[in-house]
């Protein structure tokens, strides 16, 4: 295909507005997959199928005929959830246009706004498309108005389709060909290949997604990695059609996959440029590093499984560059890692992928945000001056008497909702220490709020609560908004008078008492009764804010059997033994392994 007949584009949308369905339909129309298929071909990961969400951006190529000529369209499907914005911006780097898909029933949502600006700032061609017009409640005219008001898009440019039935999908293909510019690449120049994604495949080893910017890459050729100067041989190269189809070569403007006999997963750096051996070219600008927002400890359930966990984490982070890793040690949980994630869903998904794709069983500690503090007067500070530190692990927070200033991370949130819920939403925002900076109508029934929140306040259950007070209608999205001065305390928990470091939390002073109570109750609920009484205390600066007691209990599961059926007795004892495996010892107390992650859930 000459570059004039290649289009690289992406579909962006709020979650559930139909991206994956439209992708299926596009692949179907072009004959890439058989018809009548409803399998969300691009959601390849098990967690994606189970949760019905797209986590990794995926690519697929399709060939369509337009006015008698064949065109090659490279489609990059992206995740819609806020935690995965990083994936979205990364795939946009390989595109020249986007389909901005909006559900004609739900209308513009918070993530639609965020995604629009990502594409707009990258100066991509934007094709606005209203989806689900087959629905009885669809309001295409009202939603077209919203798009016009918010994004200053001409209403005539907006396509109206049903990704489900296929109605209007052919027009989408035509719009992609006519409105998205072709790549400005030159296949006669020396090879310049850009890696925009890479992952570890259990069977094939390291696989890279590459966009060929100039020149041609062929199987068997020797190529050099611009950052490491290491030389590799291309062992396989091809298109995603929609699964890997070897083609022997990729030409400028094409997007596909490549394998290069890499031994170590850390060799395929995302954002790297490759060129032919001894023919160096100017590398492509790399990607901006993603900033992790949420941190948690991860430890193997059994210390002897640490090496397996380490290799699983290394492989998984190759596939997900936005995860930050640091080695960590904990008195109760042993050797492990402190990992940084973009959000809670991101953390859950990572954890689930560890278990499903790599068979690693892990304990996850309660998540926290990264706090900044100015420390003075501590002996170990040079010249007795002051120093700014970032605290990723709450139990490492210095003594309050040495802290001159606390700062916590903030986010700029966008909420879009029908105006029936203005009061409830305002109340919820204030309750979460939010500051509403703007409130405006985007049509005659829907309101858009701009709210500054402390990140810690929206981390755990904000979204669920927003959904429940708005009968599911409000949507939410946020972006990083730097740090603000705050008043923080270190909340410590004690089991029988012994400080359990792994349970330490940092919180706003106004939250300490409620949080202490909540965690003590949670601990009382999750820790099973044992042969001795256990006191649970939450303290700030050695002052007890909450206390619960777990009564002693001799757990004899066979007591009710009256010496009767022996096989029943055996079965019960076996169950008890299995239950024990899920427990961890802290001092002499058995604590279930999911306690650490459970304590923040209400
Ligand atoms: P994504 O999260 O944006 O990838 O959305 P999906 O493609 O997974 O679609 C979300 C839901 O909307 C699914 O249940 C689809 O079957 C449904 N859906 C998608 N497109 C249409 C459409 O045009 N009409 C109707 N009625 N439902 C649709
Ligand atoms: Mg999807």
CA distance 342 to 292: 5
Averaged confidence pLDDT in the chain? 84
3-state SS track over 314-326: HHHHHHCCCCEEE
| Joined tokens for residue 555 | 């757990």
Residue from 92, 96, 64, 97 nearest 79 by CA: 92
Radius of gyration of the chain (CA): 27
Could you tell me where the DSSP H helices lie in 470-594?
512-526, 566-581
225 C-alpha vs ligand 2 centroid, how far in Å? 33
Closest C-alpha residue for ligand 1 atom 18 = 18
So what's the pLDDT on residue 55? 45
Can you spell out the DSSP letters for 333-362? TEEEEEEEESSHHHHHHHHHHHHHHH---E
CA distance 127 to 158: 7
- Ligand 1 atom nearest the C-alpha of 43 is 4
Between 257 and 43, the more confident residue is 257
Pairing of strands 435-441, 446-454: antiparallel
- Ligand 1 atom nearest the C-alpha of 101 is 3
Region of 494 (left: φ > 0; alpha: ψ -120 to 50; beta: rest) is beta
- Ligand nearest to the CA of residue 24, numbered in listed order: 1
- Ligand 1 atom nearest the C-alpha of 14 is 3
Contact 140, 160 (CB under 8 A): yes
CA distance 347 to 357: 15
Q: What is the pLDDT of residues 216-230, one digit of tens each?
A: 999 999 999 988 889
Q: How far apart are the first and last CA of the chain?
A: 56
Q: What is the pLDDT of residues 420-465, one digit of tens each?
A: 999 999 999 999 999 999 999 998 899 999 999 999 999 878 888 9
Pairing of strands 6-13, 69-77: parallel
So what's the pLDDT on residue 288? 59
Q: What is the pLDDT of residues 360-371, one digit of tens each?
A: 778 888 889 999
Kindly give, in sequence order, each residue whose CB lies less than 8 Å from that of residue 16, ignoring residues fewer than 6 positions away: 80, 103
- Ligand 1 atom nearest the C-alpha of 135 is 26
CA distance 525 to 595: 10
Please identify which residue in the block is written with the tokens 């949130």: 413
Residue 397 reports pLDDT greater than 80: yes
Q: What is the mean pLDDT of residues 89-109?
A: 85
The region of weakest confidence among 119-123, 265-269, 355-359, 436-440 is 265-269
Contact 198, 113 (CB under 8 A): no
445 C-alpha vs ligand 2 centroid, how far in Å? 28
Main-chain phi, psi angles of 571, to 5 degrees:
-60, -45
Residue 81 reports pLDDT greater than 60: no
462 C-alpha vs ligand 2 centroid, how far in Å? 23
Closest C-alpha residue for ligand 1 atom 10 = 16
99 C-alpha vs ligand 1 centroid, how far in Å? 15
Main-chain phi, psi angles of 265, to 5 degrees:
-60, -20
Q: What confidence category does residue 32 fall into, taking pLDDT thresholds of 50, 70 and 90?
A: low
So what's the pLDDT on residue 558? 56
List, chain by chain if needed, residues with CB within 6 Å of any ligand 1 atom.
Answer: 13, 15-21, 54, 80, 131-132, 134-135, 162-164
Can you spell out the DSSP letters for 63-113? EEEETTEEEEEEEEE---SGGGHHHHHHHHTT-SEEEEEEETTT-S-HHHH
Residue 409 reports pLDDT greater than 50: yes
- Ligand nearest to the CA of residue 57, numbered in listed order: 2
Contact 73, 61 (CB under 8 A): yes
CA distance 536 to 47: 36
Is the pTM for the entire model greater than 0.80? no
Residue from 477, 485, 483, 474 nearest 451 by CA: 477
The region of weakest confidence among 157-161, 185-189, 568-572 is 568-572
| Joined tokens for residue 465 | 């609560």
The dihedral built from the CA positions of residue 520, 526, 529 and 531, taken in this order, carries a sign that is: negative
So what's the pLDDT on residue 253? 80
Q: What is the pLDDT of residues 336-381, one digit of tens each?
A: 999 998 888 788 888 888 888 777 778 888 889 999 999 886 555 5
16 C-alpha vs ligand 1 centroid, how far in Å? 6
Residue 137 reports pLDDT greater than 80: yes
- Ligand 1 atom nearest the C-alpha of 163 is 23
Q: What is the pLDDT of residues 488-510, one digit of tens each?
A: 999 999 999 999 888 999 999 99
Residue 563 reports pLDDT greater than 60: no
Residue 154 reports pLDDT greater than 60: yes
The dihedral built from the CA positions of residue 249, 251, 256 and 262, taken in this order, carries a sign that is: positive
Residue 47 reports pLDDT greater than 80: no
CA distance 381 to 74: 55
| Joined tokens for residue 373 | 């503090």
Can you spell out the DSSP letters for 464-492? HHHHHHTTT--EEEEEEEEEEEE-EEEEE
Between the alpha carbon of residue 381 and those of residues 338, 378, 499, the distances in Å are 25, 6, 26
Helix, coil or strand: residue 207? strand
145 C-alpha vs ligand 2 centroid, how far in Å? 25
CA distance 73 to 68: 15
166 C-alpha vs ligand 2 centroid, how far in Å? 17
Q: What is the mean pLDDT of residues 180-199?
A: 85
The region of weakest confidence among 82-86, 146-150, 278-282, 534-538 is 82-86
Mutate to test the pocket of ligand 1, among 11, 12, 15, 16 (most ligand atoms within 8 A of CB): 16
- What ipTM is given for this predicted complex? 0.98
Residue 557's Cα: distance from chain center in Å? 42
CA distance 152 to 393: 45
Q: What confidence category does residue 554 fall into, taking pLDDT thresholds of 50, 70 and 90?
A: low
CA distance 458 to 466: 10
Q: What confidence category does residue 52 fall into, taking pLDDT thresholds of 50, 70 and 90?
A: very low
């Amino acid at each position: 295909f000459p570059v004039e007949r290649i289009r690289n584009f992406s579909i962006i949308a709020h979650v559930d507005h139909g991206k994956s369905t439209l992708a299926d339909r596009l692949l179907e129309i072009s004959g890439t997959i058989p018809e009548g298929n409803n399998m969300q071909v691009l959601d390849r990961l098990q967690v994606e199928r189970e949760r019905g969400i797209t986590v990794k951006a995926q690519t697929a190529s399709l060939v369509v005929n337009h006015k008698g000529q064949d065109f090659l369209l490279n489609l990059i499907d992206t995740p819609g959830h806020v935690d995965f914005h990083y994936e979205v911006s990364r795939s946009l780097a390989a595109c020249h246009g986007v389909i901005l898909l909006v559900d004609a029933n739900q209308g513009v949502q918070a993530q639609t706004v965020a995604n629009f600006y990502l594409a707009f700032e990258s100066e991509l061609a934007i094709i606005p498309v209203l989806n689900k017009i087959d629905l009885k409640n669809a309001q295409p005219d009202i939603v077209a108005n919203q798009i016009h008001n918010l994004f200053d898009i001409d209403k005539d440019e907006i396509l109206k389709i049903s990704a489900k039935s296929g109605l209007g999908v052919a027009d989408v293909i035509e719009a992609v060909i006519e409105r998205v510019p072709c790549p400005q690449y030159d296949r006669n120049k020396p090879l310049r290949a850009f890696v925009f994604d890479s992952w570890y495949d259990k069977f094939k080893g390291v696989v890279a997604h590459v966009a060929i910017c100039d020149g041609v890459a062929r199987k068997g050729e020797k190529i050099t990695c611009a950052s490491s100067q290491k030389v590799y041989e291309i062992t396989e190269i091809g298109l995603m059609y929609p699964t890997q189809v070897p083609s022997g070569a990729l030409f400028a403007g094409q997007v596909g996959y490549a394998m290069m006999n890499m031994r170590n997963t850390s060799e395929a750096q995302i954002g790297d440029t490759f060129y032919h051996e001894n023919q160096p070219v100017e590398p492509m600008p790399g990607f901006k590093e993603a900033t992790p927002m949420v941190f948690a400890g991860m430890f193997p359930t059994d210390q002897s499984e640490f090496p397996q966990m380490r290799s699983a984490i290394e492989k998984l982070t190759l596939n997900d560059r936005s995860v930050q890793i640091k080695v960590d040690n904990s008195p109760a949980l042993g050797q492990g890692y402190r990992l940084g994630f973009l959000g809670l869903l991101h953390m859950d998904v990572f954890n689930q992928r560890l278990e499903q794709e790599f068979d690693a069983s892990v304990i996850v500690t309660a998540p926290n945000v990264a706090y900044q503090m100015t420390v003075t007067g501590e002996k170990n500070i040079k010249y007795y001056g002051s120093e700014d530190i970032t605290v990723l692990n709450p139990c490492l927070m210095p003594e309050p008497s040495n802290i001159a200033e606390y700062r916590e991370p903030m986010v700029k949130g966008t909420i879009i909702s029908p105006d029936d819920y203005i009061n409830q939403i305002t109340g919820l925002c204030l309750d979460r220490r939010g500051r509403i900076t703007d409130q405006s109508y985007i049509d005659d029934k829907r309101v858009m709020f701009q709210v500054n929140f402390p990140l810690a306040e929206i981390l755990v259950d904000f979204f669920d609560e927003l959904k429940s007070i708005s009968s599911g209608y409000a949507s939410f999205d946020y972006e990083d908004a730097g740090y603000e001065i705050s008043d923080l305390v270190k909340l410590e928990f004690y089991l029988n008078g012994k400080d359990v470091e792994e349970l330490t939390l940092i919180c706003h002073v106004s939250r300490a008492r409620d949080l202490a109570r909540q965690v003590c109750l949670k601990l009382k609920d999750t820790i099973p009764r044992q042969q001795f009484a256990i006191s649970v205390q939450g303290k700030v600066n050695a002052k007890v804010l909450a206390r619960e007691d777990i009564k002693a209990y001799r757990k004899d599961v066979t007591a009710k059997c009256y010496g009767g059926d022996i096989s029943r007795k055996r079965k019960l004892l076996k169950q008890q033994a299995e239950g024990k495996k899920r427990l961890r010892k802290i001092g002499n107390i058995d604590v279930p392994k999911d306690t650490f992650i459970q304590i923040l859930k209400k």
